[in-house]
Amino acid sequence: MPIPDNVERLFRALHEEAVKEYDDTLHQVKAQNARIEKVSKVQEKRRQDLLRSIGANIDQLEKDQRNDVEALKTYLDEVRPSLISRPSIRAQETKEHALRAATLGEAGHAILRPYAASVMAPEASMIADIEGERGNPWVFPTNPGQINIQRTSRGSGTGCWATASSPTEYNVYFYFIPQQTARYSLTAVVAFHGFYILRSDDGIFSCKVAKASLDAQMNAYQYAYLGWQTFPLINRDEDNVDEVTTYDRTHFFDYNAVLKANDPVLVFTKIRLKAVAAGDGSYAELNFDTGTANYIEPLFLSVSPT
């Protein structure tokens, strides 16, 4: 079925708004980090003066930090290969999800595949491998039905003055025209396959930390935005941690809205992820990208009047 021109125009207009909002946030984070860097230089000198005054061996502490960096490399060489090379279950899942979609269709639900997608990241290198129309700092992926994104962070220094960071955001858009004015149940079904690694060894003379966060948001647009709903998925913030975890789950994100008949609606699911590490030897990785088994797949949007 051909997509009306006004839907494509609406999609691009909403995307431009999202890019502006994201770019404004990046500038705020950049300004905040500049202030943190200025303060941290002064505070680090005070910290070292204090440690010397109580007889701490600064040279040994710095040597320990370098050893932590070397130990991290060995650790990652041991744990990452099996996570990247694990077998994909995509073929099996494709059959299962097709059956689920068919069952919902028989029950009178409209089953919508992704119409378009956009991804934004703080740095262009984070999304350089995604094929599609490209801008700054965004990409329209050629295939909106498969998401390959990751975030990695290696800590440095003592970690006591960690900088701020913005998440990578992936928006998946679904489009339909309601056949009647009614309250609608909108359920986005999204499969997540990936892993996260958290490593941090905080001590009495440092502030090391490893963090990973993942959430989803839903919204709909018909004449105006109808309101965000957030679904927290992963929220880890650890100062002493040594963890390697696979994440293989299919989530059902439910959203309800009153919609008018015969006018187009864009429903979008936003997936946000972030990894932050502070302090030498600390590490955070949230990966839905590397290897054939690691990806996020927005399967479909189920739509039915209630």
Q: What is the pLDDT of residues 141-153, one digit of tens each?
A: 999 988 899 999 9
Work out how many domains the chain is built from and give that number: 1
Pick from 222, 216, 301, 302: nearest CA to 258: 222
Residue 146: predicted pLDDT: 86
Higher pLDDT, 81 or 1: 81
Helix/strand/coil for 232: strand
pLDDT at 164 over 90: no
CB atoms within 10 A of CB 296: 23
Backbone phi, then psi, for 193, in 5-degree steps?
A: -135, 115
Provide the 10 A C-beta neighbour count for residue 270.
19
Domain that holds residue 108: 5-305
Does the pTM surpass 0.75? The reply is yes
C-alpha 78/C-alpha 81 separation (Å) is: 7
Q: Where are the beta strands (DSSP E) in 28-181?
A: 110-112, 116-120, 132-134, 138-141, 149-154, 168-176
Phi/psi at 20 (5° precision): -60, -45
Average pLDDT over residues 6-14: 90
User: How does pLDDT run across 194-204, given as a tens digit for each residue?
Assistant: 999 999 998 77
Separation CA 139–CA 145 (nearest Å): 14
Q: List pLDDT tens digits, range 66-112.
A: 778 889 999 999 999 999 999 998 888 889 989 999 999 999 999 99
Average pLDDT estimate for 247-256: 96
Query: How much is the mean pLDDT over the chain?
Result: 91
Residue 148 — φ and ψ, nearest 5°?
-125, 100
